[in-house]
Structure 1
Amino acid sequence: MPTIFNLELAWNKPAKNWKESSEHILRVRINSSSDRQYGLPLRMAIAVDTSSSMQGDKILAAKEACQTVVAQLRETDSLELASFSSQVQPLLKSLAGGKGAVDSANIAITKLQASGVTRTDMALEWIQKALPEEKGVVRVGILITDGHATDSQGNPLTDVTPLLEQAGKLSDVGISLYTVGLGNAANFNTAFLSDLSEQGRGAFMYAETPTELEPQIKERLTASQAVAIDNAQLLLTSQAGIKAEGFCRFKPDYLQLEKTSDGSILLGVIRTDTPTDVLIKIEILAGDGQPPFSQEVLQVQLTASALPNPVTATTSILYTNSYSQYEQVNSDVETDRLNWNCNIIMEDLIHLAYNPSADPKQVREVLEKLENNAAVINRDDLLEHINQQRSNLEKEGKLDPRRTTRMLIDAKKS
């Protein structure tokens, strides 16, 4: 029996003046009406960096994380595993979960040994080959690395555009890519790994210490096993004078979204175990004549190949001349809006942090902008990071990579 979904629409505030344009946030919450906490069969491919810098606790942590994945696989799931350094070495192929899976996998997992350079390009190519198109399943790639992507000689790549394009191709064929930065954030490029996961329509994870890796991989596996739809889209039909200008998947994993060529918004995966929130920036243009009490603004339609019929909802917005009524905002949606702003600012900040020629004045301006947004919604976690970063900027003229990476992760937990 297919999972049934419903749409819950909420505005951050009413419209104040019919004769003036105004900007609003519409939150589209996608709820599952099923009691099931599990989803489609899973095809997961894990590429583990085994370059020489992974020696010691990090390679041991990677082995433990892979063993945890195998132990949690359902009989309908399967795992592909490979190491990558100077080349890719496939270790597990289509390993199904269930009785005997752990014993079958342990021999292969022990072969993870650290040596060589970091050919991230080869790892991405392997993930795509390891997860061929298959109907009725969800496909997830995970790339674990502790260093910069390099060429065959071990030199860090100065142009990572081809790798970002590779990640985009994974997304185009229905594979979600998740990246993990392991260890000292000064030794890898968080901005690149975050961009890589965004192009792959996944998420970036940060395991600052080896012990943080296993629980994060386990959490990602659990989330992937709860996916009921892997190609969800939203189609917006707006009335005249209404413009939808910006989109993000806000929860459970933050991801900036864009309209496709046919006008729909590709959401990717929808889970059964938690709501999916999408935020949409709506501009309502000024009208003529007498203002309506309320106006139907748009229709939202959720579609996917797994849904027998589209799920549709319409929403209207209230117009008011009352200042007190206008100030009665939906605090939850308004907080989401400000957290969305924090995430957008963090994307600018993380790129500045990994840009050696970044202007300290520009960095300070971005920090101040982030501080203003975080203060309104009492994000004490971000404010503490900002204060420390401001001190680091004054002393050393640059941001601390570790703290900036931690800020990025905290911002996405809004």
Structure 2
Amino acid sequence: MPATGASPTTNRRSITWRASCSTPSRPMRARTRPHGAVWRQASIRRSTARRVSPPTTAARRSTSLRSVHVANVPRCSPATRDVLFFKPLRRRRSAIAPPRPRTSVLAHFVRGDIAMSMIRYAAFAIALAAPFSLHVPAHAAGLKLEADLGQSVLSTAKPGNVYLRLNLKSLAASNRERRPPINAAIVIDRSGSMQGDRIEAAKEGARVALKRLSSDDTVALISYNHDVEVLSPAAPLRASREKLIEAIDKLEANGTTGLYAGVKEGGKQIEEFVSGNNVNRVILLSDGLANVGPSTPGELAELGRKLASKGISVSTIGLGLEYNEDLMQRLAAASDGNHVFVERPSDLAEIFDREFGDALSVSARDITIIIECRAGFTPKRILGRDGSIDGGKVTLKLNQLQAQNERYVVVELQAPEGRSEGAADVADISVTYVDLDDGGKAARAEAKPSVRFSANAKDIEDGLNKPVMSQVTRQIATENSEQAVELRDKGDIAGARKVLEKNADYIKRSRDLYTAGAAPAPSASVGALTDLENKSREAASSLDGDAWDRTRKLMRQDQHRAKVQQAY
């Protein structure tokens, strides 16, 4: 039986369709398809069926569905029908079909074409937005501050002195993807004593340094003898690398040594590019005595302090056995830089590589430590570092801190007498610094160490902090080493030897004490004490004749490393 509205004599099929989308609000216009077929206008009607028995509720629901009747529809592929969102129905039967199981509205929506369209649009939007997404930098690692006492329990009767140790540790990863830019000046001595292998080794060291740096880093090259020459002014390497290499290749040695002027010019070049987010460093190489211009250790130390106040450190590399180690070490210490003794020119390339590796790992700079002692605790002295004590206030400055490196400060305090048993605050400590891993932003850390007073001898004995005291021992041993140098410089060889031997015994006793029992000192501290003991005994046997020049330079180098916790 032909469908309603179709001609009985038509040769085309008459098919009833049900729309899988919402019912059109008005008849669709005829469209011409690519193959030329004309689709007739579709009319909307309510489906009806012959009733064999009174319809049930489910049957009424089934017969209420709207359907689309299309007359004289030409043959077309299923894909063409899918484009129009129509699906063919079976021919109506004379009997009512059993009701379909009910499906939730949500299920219809999820499986429907609207949901699929939304998913496609969402995927398209995500793909379109991906190239424009913003990278959010990771939170800065920061600095960890620990404040501990060498004795956590003090006697109520006679407390004596106690050591306060502040430990600073950068939490930045040593293999971080991004680092602050370097702003460096390489200052090379080209006086007559640098002729031959020394000047060639210095040139190779400078080339090694350039290989460690990127195009965003800034480098200046200065050479000096009796005059100072800026071979390549400070500029980003992206524009100056070739010029620097040419200047290094042309270096020649002659004349005398104007060390002060060379360092001063290096600092001047760096100042032009100092910013809040870079590492500023002068690297000085010299093999001789400063004999032009200011030449005393005090004058060079004052220059170092001026540069440090501008955020610039000076690392000094002494080559051979003829340079003034006091002058070089004081300059480095005043600016919180490194100091190295290089005996053979062939080692210079490795030292330059380590020095620039150290600069590349800096994560914090311009560190200021303020210790305000509580009532009853009085600061007596600072071990190993320059600082100021004004009543109960102690102020120290560190120029820089490397990633994954620890640096510490030790202050000796006099504890109050006549205290009753119980806890007491020792000091309020604040540390301000520039966090280079956070874009050069100012940051702050605080600590409030406390101590307990007791009359119990066992509690006092158990209150010994072995990790702290192992580091205190290293600083005291370094002071003893400096005393031995002073005695030897005065010609008292026997007195210097006695101090060094007693120092070695003191280090051994302390190491044995702090490695025994519960909560021993860490292996790194124990290893440092063992190395210090061996070097003290070796120095005691090398104070005579020509051996003294080499021994003295080694002792100054080791003293500097111990006091500032040099990373290499």
Q: Which residue of 2 aligns with 1:326?
A: 460
Aligned to 2:500: 367
Q: Take 2:281 and 2:249, find their aligned partners in 1: how far apart are those partners?
A: 23
**What is the DSSP-based 3-state SS (H/G/I as helix, E as strand, rest coil) of the residue aligned with 1:348?**
helix
**Structure 1 CA distance for aligned equivalents of residues 353 and 486 of structure 2:** 29
1:150 is paired with a residue of what secondary structure? Answer: coil
Bigger Rg over Cα: 2
3-state DSSP of counterpart to 2:404 = coil
Distance in 1 separating the partners of 2:408 and 2:298: 30
Amino acid at match of 2:252: Q
Whether the aligned pair in 1 keeps the contact of 2:300 and 2:327 (CA below 8 Å) is no
Question: Take 1:212 and 1:150, find their aligned partners in 2: how far apart are those partners?
Answer: 26
- Match runs of 1:131-142 below 5 Å: 131-132=270-271, 134-136=274-276, 137-142=278-283
- Contact 1:178-1:204 at 8 Å conserved across structures: yes
Question: Normalised by the size of structure 1, how large is the TM-score?
Answer: 0.85
Q: Does structure 1 retain, via aligned residues, the 8 Å contact 2:191–2:256?
A: yes
Could you tell me which amino acid in structure 1 is paired with residue 248 of structure 2? I
Deviation track 1:130-172 (CA, whole Å, cap 9, x = no partner) reads 11162212211111111111137xxx95x44333322222223
Of 144, 148, 152 in structure 2, the residue corresponding to residue 10 of structure 1 is 148
Show the counterpart of 1:251: none
Question: Per the alignment, in what secondary structure is the counterpart of residue 473 of structure 2?
Answer: helix
SS state of the match for residue 327, structure 1? Answer: helix
- Whether the 8 Å contact between 1:350 and 1:404 is mirrored in structure 2 is yes
- The aligned counterpart of 2:324 is 189
Q: Distance in 1 between matches of 2:146 and 2:308?
A: 27
Partner of 1:229 in structure 2? 364
The 1:126–1:301 alpha-carbon spacing in structure 2 relative to 1, beyond 3 Å, is: same
CA 1:32–1:151: 2 relative to 1, 3 Å: closer
Are 2:293 and 1:161 aligned? Answer: no
Q: Look up the match of 2:203.
A: 63
Kindly provide the CA deviation profile for residues 243-297 of structure 1, in whole angstroms up to 9, marking residues without a partner as x: 233335xxxxxx6131277853212212223233222222212134x221x2121
Once the two structures are superposed, the pairs formed by residues 247-326 of structure 1 within 5 Å of their partners are: 247-248=382-383, 256-259=385-388, 263-288=394-419, 290-292=420-422, 294-305=423-434, 306-326=440-460
Shift of 1:234: 1.2
- Per-residue deviation at 1:239? 1.1
Give how far 1:95 is off: 4.1
Taking the aligned partners of 2:331 and 2:499, their CA distance within structure 1 comes to 23
The aligned counterpart of 2:169 is 31
**8 A contact 1:389–1:399 mirrored in 2:** no
AA at the equivalent of 2:421: P
2:549 aligned residue: 401
Q: How many residues align?
A: 395
Equivalent residue letter for 1:407: M
1:111 and 2:241 correspond: no
Q: What is the letter of the counterpart of residue 261 of structure 2?
A: M
Residues 307/14 of structure 1: CA separation in 2 closer, same or farther (3 Å cut): same
1: CA distance, partners of 2:537 / 2:144: 42
After superposition, the Cα gap between the structure-2 partners of 1:265 and 1:93, relative to the gap in structure 1 and judged at 3 Å, is same
Q: What is the DSSP-based 3-state SS (H/G/I as helix, E as strand, rest coil) of the residue aligned with 1:16? A: strand
The alpha-carbon deviation at position 369 of structure 1 amounts to: 4.4
Matches within 5 A, 1:56-95: 56-95=196-235
Distance 2:432 2:353 in 1: 29
Does the 8 A contact of 1:27 with 1:279 survive in 2?
yes
* Pair 145,23 (structure 1): closer, same or farther in 2 beyond 3 Å: same
Shifted more, 48-57 versus 195-204: the winner is 195-204
The residue that corresponds to 2:345 in the other structure is 210
Q: Is the 8 A contact 2:329 2:557 kept in 1?
A: no
Return the alpha-carbon distance in structure 1 between the equivalents of residues 364 and 389 of structure 2: 18
Q: 1:384/1:263 Cα in 2 relative to 1: closer, same or farther (>3 Å)?
A: closer
Q: Say if 1:70 and 1:101, in contact at 8 Å, map to a contact too.
A: no
Q: Is 1:50–1:59's contact at 8 Å kept on the other side of the alignment?
A: yes
Structure 1, 101-110 or 259-268: larger mean CA deviation: 259-268
**Percent of residue pairs identical:** 22
Q: Are 2:314 and 1:177 equivalent residues in the alignment? A: yes
CA 1:94–1:358: 2 relative to 1, 3 Å: same
TM-score by length of 2: 0.64
Contact 2:367 2:433 in 1 (8 A): yes
* Structure 1 residue 73 displacement after superposition: 1.0
Superposition CA RMSD, Å: 2.8
| 1:60-83 deviation line (CA, Å, top 9, x unaligned) | 211111111111113332111111
CA contact (8 A) 1:190 1:350 kept: no
Matched residues in 2 for 1:199 and 1:206: separation?
18
Gaps in structure 1 of 5+ consecutive residues: 249-254
Rounded Cα–Cα distance in structure 2 between residues aligned with 1:140 and 1:263: 27
Does structure 1 conserve the Cα–Cα contact (< 8 Å) formed by 2:484 and 2:495?
no
Query: Distance between the aligned counterparts of 1:302 and 1:269, measured in 2?
Result: 13
1-structure distance, mates of 2:557, 2:297: 22
Aligned to 2:19: none
Decide whether the 8 Å contact of 1:341 with 1:373 is kept in 2.
Answer: no
Q: Deviations over 1:284-326 (max 9, x none)?
A: 12134x221x212112111135454521121111333343443
Residue 125 of structure 2 aligns with which residue?
Answer: none
Is contact 1:14–1:320 with CA below 8 Å preserved after alignment?
no
Q: Does the aligned pair in 1 maintain the 2:156–2:453 contact within 8 Å? A: yes
Asked whether the equivalents of residues 485 and 552 of structure 2 are also in contact (C-alpha less than 8 Å), the reply is: yes
